[in-house]
Amino acid sequence: MNGRPTASPSLSRRNFLAAVAAPAALAMPAALAMPAVAAEGEPQVDPNFQISKGRIRQSIMGWTYQDRMEMLDLARLGREIGLVAIEGIAESFYPQVRDLGLEISLVSGGHGFSKGPCDPRHRQFVIDQLSRAVELAAGLGTRNVITFTGMRYDGMDDDEAAAGCVDCWKAVMPLAEARGVNLVLEHLNSRDDSHSMKGHPGYFGDDVDFCVELIRRVDSPNMKLLFDIYHVSIMNGDIIRRIRQYQDVIAHYHTAGNPGRGEIDGTQEINYRAIMQEILATGYDGYVTHEFIPTWKDHQLALRHAASVCDV
């Protein structure tokens, strides 16, 4: 005997891996297991699923469904599933969706992502629009108004553009603080040029770390970050660690699958259940809004699926 064990003829590498994998699969918690995928690539979803835990306050972005459902029908579906809010809809729908029992999770800042304060030509317009939006949000009891840096322009100096953004938001802060409303700056990806709403080439605030720097320079408790998980995944990654790092300035979340901005299903790379658990661990009590563009044949089932993934 040379002290070296003799390999069993039947214990090939393939057999060994199969033997190890079987008990591991049995031990996997049900909450972490991916749903079975149907032939067409869509997970099996309970068509009657309703949110039961409710620890994540889920909302839906109206624009993503605007070509697929009437807004009030979308609001009714969200309410039935157990979502608590909606955003990205026309102001004219606010009274009706509130009558249905949904909150308005976010109010538009009115200046969009193209005409932002990085361009001095737009700064007064941005101040006026944000001021109006703050008053609207306060009247609704909505805590957050979205804002953007805007798009780069020819001859732009980055330092001057950053200073202009900070000065613009500072001009709105006295009103926002008095009315108890946050301005939430959204970081957007500039990488995806396949679709006007999947990516935004030329957007100034395309680095989430830089956006947080701008927020800190405003130096107000009412200047916050909209952490869009999809955009951060594309431009920065390291999502969970950044949630931990920036939890003190995050006031809103958006979801979508990457790549493609489709459903948050098994065809994309972000682990949304783990991210939802981390969001809860930070003590966050705001909204998580689904902003995926539906691709499934059954658009209603796609929303139920997203709600089920995030109901942790």
**What tens digit of pLDDT does each residue of 224-239 get?**
999 999 999 999 999 9
Is residue 41 pLDDT above 80, yes or no? no
Is 252 within a domain? Answer: yes
Is 82 within a domain? Answer: yes
Provide the token pair at 195: 């679709």
* Listed residue (205, 206, 189, 207) closest to 197, CA to CA: 189
**Better pLDDT: 155 or 27:** 155
Domain that holds residue 293: 55-302
Is 256 within a domain? Answer: yes
Give mean pLDDT, residues 117-142.
98
Looking at every residue in the chain, the average pLDDT score rounds to 89
Is 309 within a domain? Answer: no
Instruction: For residue 36, give the DSSP letter.
Output: P
- How far is 65 from 70, CA to CA, in rounded Å? 8
Is residue 4 pLDDT above 90, yes or no? no
Q: What pLDDT score does 42 carry?
A: 79
Find the angle CA(119)-CA(224)-CA(312) to the nearest 5 degrees.
130
Q: What pLDDT score does 27 carry?
A: 34
Q: Which contacts qualify for 236-241: CB closer than 8 Å, 24 or more apart? A: 236/207, 236/208, 236/209, 239/270, 239/275, 240/274, 240/275, 240/278
Is 312 within a domain? Answer: no
Is residue 46 pLDDT above 60, yes or no? yes
The answer to whether the beta carbons of residues 239 and 187 sit under 8 Å apart is: no
Query: Could you read off the pLDDT of 131-182 as tens digits, one per residue?
Result: 999 999 999 999 999 999 999 999 999 999 999 999 999 999 999 999 999 9
Is residue 49 pLDDT above 70, yes or no? yes
Give the global pTM.
Answer: 0.87
Is 12 within a domain? Answer: no
**Better pLDDT: 38 or 158:** 158
Give mean pLDDT, residues 10-36.
35
Is 10 within a domain? Answer: no
Instruction: For residue 37, give the DSSP letter.
Output: B
Give mean pLDDT, residues 29-38.
37
Q: How many domains does the chain fold into?
A: 1
Q: Which pLDDT band holds residue 21 (cuts at 50, 70, 90)?
A: very low
Provide the token pair at 12: 């090939």
Q: Which helix or strand (DSSP H or E) is residue 18 part of?
A: helix 13-27
CATH number (domain holding residue 188): 3.20.20.150
Q: What pLDDT score does 26 carry?
A: 31
Residue with tokens 């701008």: 214
Is residue 31 pLDDT above 90, yes or no? no
Name, in order, each residue with C-beta under 8 angstroms of 144's C-beta and a sequence gap of 6 or more.
105, 106, 107, 137, 181, 182, 183, 184, 224, 226, 251, 252, 286
Please give the order of strands across the beta sheet that includes 103-104.
103-104, 85-87, 57-61, 287-290, 250-255, 223-228, 182-186, 144-147
Per cent of the chain over pLDDT 90 is 86
Q: Which contacts qualify for 236-244: CB closer than 8 Å, 24 or more apart? A: 236/207, 236/208, 236/209, 239/270, 239/275, 240/274, 240/275, 240/278, 242/208, 243/275, 243/278, 243/279, 243/282, 244/278, 244/282
Is 36 within a domain? Answer: no
- How far is 235 from 231, CA to CA, in rounded Å? 6
